[in-house]
Structure 1
């Protein structure tokens, strides 16, 4: 079977790799000048910065581990770094374990006690679809849903937890299916954040190097069904016919191509909202308090458009020149971007509010991630189902909007898809 994959981000490249491993003839078209989509590691004066994910959750024997091993991608783990939530005008440590949360000032005592009852809560059927906040309230209590969840979700999806579907975090339903979240986490084991040597951008680069045919700078503009059941894609002066075409594209891009070939799917995909976010990278003199730190997220009511900051130089020491600390601050998303966050001066003022000892930067740069993050609002499951079921034979659609927001979600979803 011949397959043409449209989209050379990590989803399309990993899908192509799986199919090639099965002996299929696969070609990948990527509209951009280089592969990777939003997952790129770009050079920056003696180091680098990420345009997409900062790392990936890894555990031995999982889809991430199997793929990294198969494509010979070395990686390293920074370990367990300190994390904070900005709340009440100060940074509050987030303990690494549920037991540690019992002594944390993040939540009142009643919320902590209710959280400990999670293993005894009944399992709810998967249907009908449940909201994310409702799911957390049901399993862990209202305190966790209102005091801890908002900052965690804002830091991952740049959107308010109360508007999202539980499908925004696929692991939650998987864990509950084992009887409880505690049981699911215990059975699944603990995952560790890892970073490939050279940055996350090495993952798509290494995948592309393992594939027989990857064409960058080639955007598909039209799809046509052929009388023999095959498909023709054309664009950039190129024409390809294949037994199957896989659209490894954001939902809004796939919707355009599917307009006449699969109108039901196109309508469902066009209805999936996406979120844009501004990224500010900055380098400073090191701070002892952030020496071994993942970073901090801000409780949305207090963030007012400032979602939080990571410390890439802790996760990946090669990202910054020796003797400097690198920060990555997230702005806007579905929360909006107030006027004071349009410039670095406004970003710095917010940073210094939460970290008063932070010095002036020696370098800054700004990136705009336009429509980079799918927003799985309540009803997302029905939209994805309608999109997939409306596809005619020989067409498929793959995306983090289908499998989940994280790299781990994508790679696990692809293993199921290709089986």
Structure 2
């Protein structure tokens, strides 16, 4: 079957790779001059920075592991690393393990005791769709939902959990389906954050290098269904007639292409909101406190638009020159922010409030991630279902808005899709 994939981000490239493994010869069109979409590793003064994900969750025998092995992509695993949540004006340690949370001062004793009852909570049917906050409160208790969840979700989706569907984090429903979250984690095993050598941008680069036809700088402008059931795609002076078109695009871009071809799908896709985030990269004198630190997230009511900071130089030592610590700070998202956060000086003042000993930066760089993160609000499941059911034969839509926000979610979803 002849297939044209529109979108050369990791979703489109991994989809093409799976089709190639099935014996097909797909072609990929990417509107930008380079592949990867938001997943790019950019050079920066003796190191590099990430415009998209900082790493990917990995464990042996999973879709991520199988893909990395197949494309010969080596990676480094930095370890668990210390994590904190900014709350009450200070950084509170948050151990990565569920049992470690029982010792954290982040939550009161009553919340910790309620969390221990999770294995005994009955499984709720998947329908009707449940809100993320309601799901966590039901399974782990209102203490976890109010004290821990907001910061965790702000660091992943840059949005308040009370507006989101539980489908925003697909693993939660998958784990509950085994009987409990504890049982799901136990059966699935613990995942570890890993970073490909050379940065996350190496993943789309390696995928593209193994595909026969990846064209960059071509933006599809129209789709047309032909009398014989095939599809004509036009864009950038190119015309292709193929049996199948895969829209590996953000929902809003896919909606614009579908138009009158699939009006129900176009309406459903256009209704999926997206979030923009400002990223500030900065380099400082290393701090012993953050030497082995993953980073910290700020409890949203206290962050006032400042969501938190990661420590890329711990996760990926190649990101910064020797003797420097690199931070990656997140601002905005679906949260209101003060005008002080429009400038580095305002953000740096906030950083100093949480880390008083932080030195003045030796270098600063700003990146704007415009509409980079899908926001699966309550009702997301119905929107995705309507979008897929409304597609004519020979059209498909793939996206992190369909499979989940993380790279792991995308690669697992694509493996199932291609089976």
TM range (shorter): over 0.9
Give how far 1:80 is off.
1.0
Q: What SS does the aligned partner of 2:69 have?
A: helix
Partner of 2:331: 331
Partner of 1:342: 342
- Residues of 1 paired with 2:33 and 2:169: CA distance? 31
Partner of 1:394: 394
Question: How many equivalent residue pairs?
Answer: 419
- Residues of 1 paired with 2:361 and 2:22: CA distance? 50
- Residues of 2 paired with 1:334 and 1:180: CA distance? 30
Give how far 1:96 is off.
2.0
Normalising by structure 2, we get a TM-score of 1.00
Partner of 1:365: 365
- Residues of 1 paired with 2:21 and 2:98: CA distance? 41
- Residues of 1 paired with 2:338 and 2:231: CA distance? 47
- Residues of 2 paired with 1:99 and 1:69: CA distance? 32
Give how far 1:349 is off.
0.4
Give how far 1:95 is off.
1.2
1:366-412 Cα deviation digits (max 9, x unpaired): 00000000000000000000000000000000000000000000000
Normalising by structure 1, we get a TM-score of 1.00
1:186-221 Cα deviation digits (max 9, x unpaired): 000000000000000000000000000000000000
Partner of 1:290: 290
Partner of 2:119: 119
Q: What SS does the aligned partner of 1:126 have?
A: coil
What CA RMSD, in Å, does the superposition of the two structures yield over aligned residues? 0.5
Q: What SS does the aligned partner of 1:79 have?
A: coil
Q: What SS does the aligned partner of 1:359 have?
A: coil
1:321 aligns with 2:313: no
Q: What SS does the aligned partner of 2:345 have?
A: helix
Partner of 1:17: 17
1:405 aligns with 2:401: no
Q: Which runs of 5+ in 1 are unaligned?
A: none
Q: What SS does the aligned partner of 1:327 have?
A: strand
Partner of 2:216: 216
- Residues of 2 paired with 1:284 and 1:194: CA distance? 23
- Residues of 1 paired with 2:253 and 2:327: CA distance? 32
Q: How does 1:90-129 map to 2 (within 5 A)?
A: 90-129=90-129
**Runs in 1 of length 4+ with deviation above 6 angstroms?**
none
- Residues of 2 paired with 1:122 and 1:170: CA distance? 19
Q: How does 1:8-407 map to 2 (within 5 A)?
A: 8-407=8-407
1:341-362 Cα deviation digits (max 9, x unpaired): 0100001001000000000000
- Residues of 2 paired with 1:96 and 1:219: CA distance? 42
Q: What SS does the aligned partner of 1:286 have?
A: coil
1:26-77 Cα deviation digits (max 9, x unpaired): 0000000100000000000000000000000000000000000000000010
- Residues of 1 paired with 2:104 and 2:264: CA distance? 49
Give how far 1:104 is off.
1.2
Give how far 1:13 is off.
0.1
Q: What SS does the aligned partner of 1:12 have?
A: helix
Give how far 1:97 is off.
1.7
- Residues of 2 paired with 1:213 and 1:253: CA distance? 22
1:291-347 Cα deviation digits (max 9, x unpaired): 000000000000000000000000000000010000000000000231010100001
Q: Which runs of 5+ in 2 are unaligned?
A: none
